[in-house]
Amino acid sequence: DGLDGPFDCETFCVEDPEVVPDFAPVRTGMSRLTQAQYRRILTDAFGELDFDTALEADEGTAEFSTHGAAQVTTSSRGVEQYRDAAMSLAGQILERRDQYAVLAECAPASVDDPCIDAVVRAFGSTLFRRELSAEEVQRYARIVGAAGSERELLNTGLRYMIAGLLQSPNFLYAPPFTERDEDRGIERYTGEAMATRLSLLIWDRAPDAALLEAAQSGELDTPQGLAGQTRRLLDHEYARDFAARFFMESWHIDDLEETDKVVSRYPEWSAERLEDFREEMRLVIRALTWEQDGDLLDIFDGRQTFANGRLAEFYGLAGSDGETFERVDLDEHRYGLLTSGAVIAANSASNRSTPTERGVFVLERLLCENLAAPPSDALEEGTEELAAIEPGDERGFIMERLERPQCGGCHQTIDPLGMVFDDFNSVGRFRQGEDQVGALGSEPYANVGELAADLREDPASSACISRRLYNFVAAHPAQPSETRPILDATETFRDSAHSFRQLLIAIVTSDGFRFADPEEDR
């Protein structure tokens, strides 16, 4: 009943492979809004604003952005930055008070003016993504009166009240509120918590009125209700690049920067080229997952891509011209996204092709195999030796490294697999006959097409997509007690002809997404 492919033995192996551990919820904490979510939510709520105050950076060292948001803490300096930003934004909102009905009608003459409570309720429910309690309304309303009882001072108080809402953890974080599920005897996320988690995940913004209403009605307390709302969110334009966001993080495309290549060696590398690569990947994945409910494994062996004139010329493809990206046929050298400029460049050094990096990409990112870290001294020695070699002269070094006892064990698997991609240089240009490392004589595939076909048929590749998407959605590395939800989601993925939509629905309706251990210190 296990995955038909490599298991992550540190996480998923059990003594009896026929036995899957019973599900148990994992501990969870609060996730802070990313900077993109912060700006997007406020823009949706208040229109265009000037975000002129620097904020503390997102956590960028975690495997996924969702993991970083769940791990990050806010420093004392970060608290000050949120305060300064809140005061600036609150001032801008008051300057355009006529644009917000509840505020346009509020010119309080006394601290008891009922319009103050109305503003707190309206703005608070928007920012907190739930209804405020009576005590919360009173707390923020008192801020208005603390500035004084004169009209001018009351207006100043309104600014401080709005700034207070903007600094609240209820806005800046997604609190993991839970309640007891009496049937299961464990803690379940509340409907309001689920609404926020679901919307931040799929839309990267706050839940809309329909999702909050579903939370209040109890619809999000059941897998059926969650599935229905997930389908609705996925149909919306806001979700069109959700799958691309996941793959760009999973395959480390987001790590690519303009400065990552030596331009003197690769003059075709530029910020424009990099954005073309990213747009290609976005459009391919969008077409497979949002415009249609296609076979996601086409990312391995699909025979078409999207290109504008620049990218088509770079790839040597026909059928596209100008700035507009159009669907074009790939030639016999390229397959799906495996040979896209984004993937090749993300798995190449700055001044040379790197079979090792490309082999690691296939094994770790596409098959979820755990590779042992190289000994630190061997890694340092190998890095120095490779740096001293002229680009294009790596073959001898690689052949010699395969014979080293401390290196050959891993590199006999990694390097020949990476050599399958050696027809492409560091920035993704096809270069057959130019500047190649040369055949090692032990490649498992004759070309990328054979590898792509094997990835489509290998159950480990679909299991890996499922497992990594689960990690992304759950906002933490999966634990052994979450094996069952992952296995079930993988089965759904395969039975649905590799539908990304069905895979995501299976994950968000699973016990792993619905239940939590709330005992984490916060």
3-state secondary structure 218-263: CHHHCHHHHHHHHHHHHHCHHHCCHHHHHHHHHCCHHHCCHHHCCC
Residues 493 and 466 sit within 8 Å (Cβ to Cβ): yes
Question: CA–CA separation, 475 vs 516, rounded Å?
Answer: 12
SS3 214: helix
Q: Which of 227, 178, 175, 217 is nearest to 196 (CA)?
A: 175
Residue 141 CB neighbours (<10 A):
21
Report pLDDT for 307. Answer: 97
Provide DSSP, 183-206. TTTEEEE-HHHHHHHHHHHHTSS-
Partnered with residue 173 across adjacent β-strands are: 32
Q: Which of 431, 489, 497, 436 is nearest to 465 (CA)?
A: 489
Report pLDDT for 16. Answer: 46
The backbone region for 433, taken as left when phi is positive above 0, alpha when psi lies in -120 to 50, beta otherwise, is: left
Question: CA–CA separation, 97 vs 47, rounded Å?
Answer: 12
CA of 424: how far to CAs of 304, 433, 447, 500, in Å?
18, 10, 11, 29
Residue 246 exposed, middle or buried by CB count within 10 Å (0-12, 13-18, 19+) = buried
Ordered mean pLDDT values, 10 residues apiece, the chain (522 residues): 39 53 89 97 97 93 93 94 97 95 90 94 96 96 87 88 97 94 94 97 97 97 98 98 98 92 93 97 98 97 97 92 94 96 94 86 94 72 70 68 66 81 91 52 77 95 98 95 96 98 98 85 40
Residues 248 and 254 sit within 8 Å (Cβ to Cβ): yes
Tokens of 176: 């993991």
Report pLDDT for 122. Answer: 96
Tokens of 31: 């996730």
Report pLDDT for 14. Answer: 41
Tokens of 235: 């149909």
Question: CA–CA separation, 114 vs 108, rounded Å?
Answer: 8
Tokens of 30: 């609060």
Residue 377 CB neighbours (<10 A):
9
Q: Which of 47, 49, 212 is nearest to 125 (CA)?
A: 212
The residue type found at 270 is: S
Q: What angle do CA 330, 359, 65 make, to 5 degrees?
A: 85
Q: Which of 237, 232, 308, 131 is nearest to 504 (CA)?
A: 232
pTM for the whole structure:
0.91
455 Cβ contact partners less than 8 Å away, ≥ 6 residues apart:
297, 300, 301, 338, 366, 461
Question: CA–CA separation, 365 vs 253, rounded Å?
Answer: 12
SS3 131: coil
Q: Which of 92, 149, 140, 151 is nearest to 116 (CA)?
A: 140
Long-range contacts, stretch 182-191, CB < 8 angstroms, 24+ apart: 184/515, 186/25, 186/515, 186/517, 187/25, 187/515, 187/516, 187/517, 187/518, 188/221, 188/514, 188/515, 188/516, 189/514, 189/515, 189/516, 190/215, 191/215, 191/216, 191/217, 191/218, 191/219, 191/220, 191/221
Residue at token pair 């490294």: 401
φ, ψ (nearest 5 deg) of residue 515: -115, 155
